[in-house]
Structure 1
């Protein structure tokens, strides 16, 4: 019994230590790419300046090569609304008159064990009617706003000169982590003089803003609640 208590205490201590580890995790899909290494020049050639080590003081500093950095200004804002209304009414009525057989209208007497409606004579006429109605309405509205800055790196220069960029920002705050992931294609003409481009100028963009930790878990519906609103629960 004492050994079991020691094992339980050690397990709880391990869980508490694991809960303290809130360091953000890297996503390899958004990892930056390293620029191409500059080849080492041949030494002792007698020249003052060595090839590959020059620095252009008047060149354009905007991103254009693999490994260059580019700042993306997030200015995303979406608003959507949808309203739907449906109304269906349906009614049917069918009447079958008493047939005439060999020139006479058949009638029969109701047995005494069946309660009589109005008289003791009945015929084969029938009257069927049914009606149904359905009314439904729905209203949906959604609004999202994402602002901020994130610096990404150029991972590929396409044949037409466009830049494929991607990057990730990881922020650990108290008991949770925030992740901002961006990828897309940038046209060099859309990059301004400060080496910045708007997120609305990205082609084929992927913008992800997610979080984990205690705050994110408090806003997540439990598995039992999700079961009662899922398609597996028909009632």
Structure 2
């Protein structure tokens, strides 16, 4: 009997290991695919214009003598100064109580209740009492400082710039990345071609990593299973 159960157990373990490995590879592939959305945007290739003999400027070229050298065209680079800091605190207390009662008078015979030794035996009363008290508190804070250079992915009709980009840093046996996407007003860009992150509208900022340190800071799949809201335990 034991010899028949052993192959089945080994087969189940092999399937579980295969699913675990494939799940890890799919997770890494998902991160790589997601990173492609933040790849740099290349400038548009300008059409070759034919210069007239003896002319100083070619027709159709953009020449600005007084503007700052800041990002404004497709593919231009822009440095975003990351200065993110948020704090949140929430607490809640709930108290509920409910009491209910009902009395049922028993039937009578000739106007008299049915009793035993003078005590009514068919009278009934029902009562219910319930109480609930709940307390909850949550505190969260985060801070992100640094720099990331992005490129202009699109120039919107109102002149604002859609920017996005990512930065990877390899440290020892792991890699860390910062990704950013958002909308920047040209007027918010400083003369040194930088903009503060809290001036980026509709900002998406992601910071994470891959490798030994990132894996060590994550709980295992068994812990995540028992800590899931869907677990029956």
Fold shared, TM-score > 0.5 on shorter chain: yes
CA contact (8 A) 1:154 1:165 kept: yes
Q: What is the TM-score when the length of structure 2 is the normalising length? A: 0.76
Q: Give unpaired runs (5+ residues) of structure 1.
A: 1-23, 109-118
Provide closer, same or farther for how the CA distance between residues 34 and 195 of structure 1 changes in structure 2, counting only shifts above 3 A. Answer: same
Aligned Cα RMSD in Å?
3.0
Kindly name which structure, 1 or 2, has the bigger radius of gyration based on alpha carbons: 1
CA contact (8 A) 1:41 1:50 kept: no
- The alignment partner of 2:107 has SS state of coil
Corresponding pairs, count: 203
Question: 1:174: which partner in 2?
Answer: 172
How many Å separate the matches in 2 of 1:55 and 1:42?
Answer: 17
Alignment partner of 1:106 is 2:114: yes
Question: 2:187: which partner in 1?
Answer: 189
Give the one of 61, 64, 72 matched to 1:64: 72
Alignment partner of 1:76 is 2:76: no
How many Å separate the matches in 2 of 1:40 and 1:103?
Answer: 113
Superposed, 1:10-25 pairs within 5 Å as none
Residue by residue, what CA displacement relative to the aligned partner does 1:96-136 show, whole Å, maximum 9, x if unpaired?
Answer: 2343222232235xxxxxxxxxx796521112222111110
How many Å separate the matches in 1 of 2:118 and 2:157?
Answer: 96
How many Å separate the matches in 2 of 1:92 and 1:53?
Answer: 84
Superposed, 1:143-222 pairs within 5 Å as 143-222=141-220
Larger relative contact order (C-alpha < 8 A, sep ≥ 6)? 1
Q: CA deviation at 1:204?
A: 1.2
How many Å separate the matches in 2 of 1:216 and 1:101?
Answer: 82
How many Å separate the matches in 2 of 1:89 and 1:196?
Answer: 58
Superposed, 1:64-143 pairs within 5 Å as 64-107=72-115, 123-143=121-141
Q: What is the TM-score when the length of structure 1 is the normalising length? A: 0.75
CA contact (8 A) 2:149 2:165 kept: yes
Provide closer, same or farther for how the CA distance between residues 63 and 106 of structure 1 changes in structure 2, counting only shifts above 3 A. Answer: same
Provide closer, same or farther for how the CA distance between residues 122 and 58 of structure 1 changes in structure 2, counting only shifts above 3 A. Answer: closer
How many Å separate the matches in 1 of 2:144 and 2:208?
Answer: 12
How many Å separate the matches in 2 of 1:183 and 1:225?
Answer: 33
Question: 2:4: which partner in 1?
Answer: none
How many Å separate the matches in 2 of 1:56 and 1:126?
Answer: 95
Provide closer, same or farther for how the CA distance between residues 48 and 126 of structure 1 changes in structure 2, counting only shifts above 3 A. Answer: closer
Q: Give unpaired runs (5+ residues) of structure 2.
A: 1-30
- The alignment partner of 1:30 has SS state of coil
How many Å separate the matches in 2 of 1:50 and 1:161?
Answer: 26
Q: CA deviation at 1:161?
A: 1.2
